[in-house]
């Protein structure tokens, strides 16, 4: 690792839950190990040593069995990553995209399945956020949360073109359409994952989540819930509880990730 921009350790907690209304959990989470297809009843602690690692959450699309399969395939692929670099992760996600397309084309019950994904990548080149779709990463700055990622959604496209005012919190159903996902189409479509190099400090906190959280809570509401809380497990639990109290309309996955920069 000589010449690297830094070594990073990560600790924190995560939750992955069906929510109040859905019958199946189509979300999946990678934070030390892979979790999918069930619900956690409380925040789960996790830790990663200094070195190469990925923390990610995925949100399945395509309905029930297909969406759950797709999200787990995405996080399982990231768990098996052997090229820890933005280029390596991009190639891995494109391979997964192609594999989901082939699976969907070969099995009618899986047709059109796919997933969104968002994650943190620690590697020799530095610390990066990445995403495909509308799952998000926020960074805590003092008493505020700053959104790092940019949604691949019709809503974001209209906002970027000046045709719609940015919306925070529960979105109308018409604004849920994605402009990019891993799989999610009956025809193979090449993806272009987004990568964001993060300006690092000695200590950093990130919120990594699916839209089951951000559709229930505005960023201001998230700040009110998690900013006063120093303990990562308590912050993850309180964010989840607030999303459930707000309706819990979708599967909810949230990871609170504390990153420490170490000396090389």
Q: What pTM does this model have?
A: 0.93
- Concatenated DSSP letters for 189-246? -----EEEEPPP-SEEEEEEE-HHHHTTS-HHHHHHHHTT--SHHHHHHHHHHHHHHT
Residue 200 domain-assigned (yes or no): yes
Residue 77 domain-assigned (yes or no): yes
Q: What is the CATH number of the domain that holds 166?
A: 3.60.40.10
Q: Would you call 244 exposed, middle or buried from its count of C-beta atoms within 10 A (0-12, 13-18, 19+)?
A: middle
Residue range 226-242: average pLDDT? 95
Residue 76 domain-assigned (yes or no): yes
The torsion angles phi and psi of 127, rounded to 5 degrees, stand at -115, 130
Provide the pLDDT for residue 141: 87
What does the pLDDT look like over 123-142, one tens digit per residue?
A: 999 999 999 999 999 999 88
Q: What is the count of structural domains for the chain?
A: 1
What does the pLDDT look like over 141-170, one tens digit per residue?
A: 888 999 999 999 777 667 666 666 666 656
Residue 148 domain-assigned (yes or no): yes
Residue 220 lies in domain: 7-262
Residue 152 domain-assigned (yes or no): yes
Provide the pLDDT for residue 170: 65
Residue 1 domain-assigned (yes or no): no
Residue 104 domain-assigned (yes or no): yes
Cα distance between residue 102 and residue 104, in whole Å: 5
Residue 2 domain-assigned (yes or no): no
172 band by pLDDT with thresholds 50, 70 and 90: low
């Amino acid at each position: 690792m000589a010449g690297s921009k830094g070594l990073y350790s990560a600790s924190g907690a995560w939750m992955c839950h069906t929510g109040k209304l859905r019958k199946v959990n189509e979300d999946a989470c990678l934070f030390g190990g892979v979790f999918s297809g069930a619900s956690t009843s409380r925040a789960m602690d996790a830790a990663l040593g200094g070195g190469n690692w990925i923390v990610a959450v995925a949100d399945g699309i395509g309905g029930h069995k297909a969406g759950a399969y797709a999200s787990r395939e995405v996080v399982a692929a990231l768990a098996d990553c052997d090229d820890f670099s933005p280029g390596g992760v991009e190639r891995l996600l494109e391979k997964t995209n192609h594999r989901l397309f082939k699976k969907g084309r070969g099995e009618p019950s899986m047709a059109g399945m796919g997933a969104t994904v968002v994650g943190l990548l620690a590697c020799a080149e530095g610390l990066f956020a990445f995403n495909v779709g509308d799952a998000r990463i926020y960074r805590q700055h003092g008493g505020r949360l700053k959104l790092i990622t940019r949604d691949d959604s019709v809503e974001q496209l209209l906002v970027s073109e000046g045709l719609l005012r940015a919306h925070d919190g529960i979105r109308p159903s018409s604004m849920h359409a994605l402009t990019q996902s891993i799989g999610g189409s009956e025809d193979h479509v090449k993806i272009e994952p987004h990568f964001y190099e993060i300006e690092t400090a000695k200590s950093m906190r990130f919120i990594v989540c699916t839209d089951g959280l951000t559709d229930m809570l505005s960023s201001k509401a998230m700040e009110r819930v998690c900013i006063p809380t120093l303990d990562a497990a308590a912050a993850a639990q309180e964010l989840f509880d607030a999303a459930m109290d707000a309706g819990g309309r979708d599967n909810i996955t949230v990871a609170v990730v504390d990153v420490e920069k170490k000396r090389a």
